[in-house]
């Protein structure tokens, strides 16, 4: 938004942070995508197309220095027999708090940030660490279907510990990063592209599932050892945008068309509720419909499994990709409708709050909690879809000069 006073305040404060002093448990994945990704993105933009916005050049340079400091503070997480990282850390005493497994999302969704840090800093260590851990996902010992993996793997030996999966929690951003690493550097990361194609093709073949009560709705099912479960959720709704992005990059109209179907179907989960916002979890298995939702299921093609809304971005994110690919103003309208619903239902005295029930008037109760991804993703995508194209936009003038990490930070 190019607001110099706010940018200066942020970049002047970041150098004062001592990451080694934190005594709170942190997620390596969340810290990477939010903190490390945010600082690296700020550095890339403020030394690139937005260089005119920040007045303190030394503070901008400190964004890179602090990125190095944070990565150095966390890199002991990879000190395991396989190089697969621990999930949770205490930075102040270099300890861990977790078991012996980690999710494919946590292991496979840090490559953009750490590799970009290597490329910016000239220190290859950061990239080597994440490429080694990713090797267990790019060359897996087992697959449920080609390209589709279980969720958990043991960092002691790299073996998968379950056969569950899908495009939802604990798996989602692994599939997202496969095509995005190829966008980041197509000469170095063709294997990521190849693995995304395998996953995309298997998803279209095995996981695409139609609603039995409303034609035209296509959702992505979950699985356990090739047994399909007809439930999904808000997190899965990023997949529409990811298929569209992959289709644009690979010049594959079948991926784009499939992605648009997913976008339309996730829009239906918003358009069918009293608040105009979508549920955390939903299903379409006609044998599992709650008694009090049978009418809702018949009308809308799905039923609500988890009614809360946690200020999630995935649906608006996919609207953004659909608009960038098609130029269809309908997706801008859908994004505006979602923003109005958010502002109407979730606005709090200070900021916004998650709500307990998207299908109750007023959203049920306030959960008195606001995630940082409201700002990083929801409001960002809501803004970018409405404004004229800029250098950092997806497909700007036919090119991707930047790639967005899973927290919507462009690098």
Q: How many Å apart are CA 279 and CA 300, to the nearest integer? A: 13
pLDDT of 339 strictly over 90: yes
d(CA 72, CA 20): 9
Confidence of residue 122 (pLDDT cuts 50, 70, 90): very high
Ramachandran angles phi, psi of 303, nearest 5°: -130, 160
**For residues 389 and 84, what is the distance between their CA atoms, to the nearest angstrom?**
39
CA distance 292 to 21: 51
User: Which two tokens mark 294?
Assistant: 């049978």
C-beta separation of 307 from 279 below 8 A? yes
363-380 confidence digits (pLDDT tens)? 999 999 999 999 999 999
Annotated catalytic residue 377: no
Please report, for residues 125, 143, 155, the alpha-carbon distance to residue 136 in angstroms, rounded to integers and kept in the order given: 18, 12, 10
Kindly report the length of the chain.
411
Contact 150, 164 (CB under 8 A): yes
Average pLDDT over residues 391-398: 97
pLDDT for 262: 99
Strand partners, 404: 410
Q: How much is the pLDDT for 92?
A: 95
State which H helix or E strand residue 305 sits in: strand 303-306
Sign of CA dihedral 298, 301, 303, 307: negative
Residue 98, pLDDT above cutoff 80: no
Which element (helix H / strand E) includes 268? helix 253-271
Give the pLDDT band (50/70/90) at residue 324.
very high
Q: Six-digit token pair at 23?
A: 């005594």
* Overall pTM > 0.95: yes
Q: Active-site residue among 176, 280, 377, 407?
A: 280
Contacts 24+ apart (CB under 8 A), 187-195: 191/138, 192/138, 193/250, 195/137, 195/138, 195/147
The answer to whether the beta carbons of residues 226 and 165 sit under 8 Å apart is: no
The confidence band for 97, taking pLDDT boundaries of 50, 70 and 90, is confident
Mean pLDDT of 350-360: 98
pLDDT, residue 240, reads 99
Question: What's the CA gap between 298 and 301, in Å, rounded?
Answer: 6
- Count of helix runs (H) and strand runs (E) in the chain: 16, 13
**Sign of the CA dihedral 231, 235, 240, 244?**
negative
Which structure tokens are listed for 123? 């220190």
Q: Which of 94-103, 117-126, 150-159, 350-359 has the lowest mean pLDDT?
A: 94-103
pLDDT higher than threshold 80 for residue 43 = yes
pLDDT > 70 fraction of the chain, expressed in percent and rounded = 100
265-287: average pLDDT:
98
- What is d(CA 192, CA 188) in angstroms, rounded to the nearest whole number? 9
């Amino acid at each position: 938004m190019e607001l110099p006073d706010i940018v200066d305040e942020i970049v002047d404060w970041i150098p004062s942070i001592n990451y080694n002093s934190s005594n709170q448990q942190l997620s390596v994945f969340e810290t990477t995508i939010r903190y490390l990704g945010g600082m690296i993105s700020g550095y890339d933009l403020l030394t690139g197309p937005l260089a005119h916005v920040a007045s303190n050049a030394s503070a901008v340079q400190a964004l890179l220095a602090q990125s190095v400091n944070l990565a150095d503070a966390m890199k002991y997480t990879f000190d395991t027999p396989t190089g697969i990282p621990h999930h949770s850390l205490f930075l102040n005493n270099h300890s861990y708090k977790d078991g012996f497994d980690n999710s494919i999302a946590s292991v496979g969704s840090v490559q953009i940030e750490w590799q970009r840090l290597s490329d910016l800093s000239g220190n290859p260590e950061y990239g080597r660490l994440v490429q080694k851990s990713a090797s267990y996902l790019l060359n897996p010992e087992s697959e449920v279907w080609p390209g589709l993996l279980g969720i958990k793997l043991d960092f002691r030996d790299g073996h998968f510990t379950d056969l569950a999966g899908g495009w939802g929690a604990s798996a989602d951003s692994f599939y997202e990063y496969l095509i995005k690493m190829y966008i980041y550097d197509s000469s170095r990361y063709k294997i990521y592209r190849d693995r995304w194609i395998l996953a995309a093709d298997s998803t279209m073949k095995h996981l695409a599932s139609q609603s039995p009560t409303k034609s035209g709705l296509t959702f992505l099912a979950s699985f356990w050892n090739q047994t399909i479960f007809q439930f999904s959720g808000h997190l899965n709704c990023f997949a529409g945008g990811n298929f569209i992005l992959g289709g644009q990059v690979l010049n594959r109209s079948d991926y784009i068309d499939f992605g648009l179907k997913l976008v339309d179907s996730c829009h239906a989960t918003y358009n069918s509720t009293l608040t105009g916002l979508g549920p955390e979890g939903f299903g379409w298995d006609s044998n599992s419909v709650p008694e009090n939702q049978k009418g809702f299921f018949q009308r809308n093609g799905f039923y609500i499994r988890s009614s809360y809304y946690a200020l999630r971005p995935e649906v608006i994110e996919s609207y953004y990709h659909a608009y960038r690919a098609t130029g269809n103003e309908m997706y801008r309208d859908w994004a505006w409708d979602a923003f109005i619903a958010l502002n109407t239902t979730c606005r709090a005295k200070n900021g916004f709050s998650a709500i307990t029930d998207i299908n109750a008037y007023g959203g049920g109760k306030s959960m008195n909690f606001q995630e940082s991804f409201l700002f990083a993703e929801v409001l960002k995508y809501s803004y970018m879809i409405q404004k004229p194209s800029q250098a950092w936009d997806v497909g700007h003038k036919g090119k991707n000069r930047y790639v967005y990490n899973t927290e919507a930070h462009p690098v």
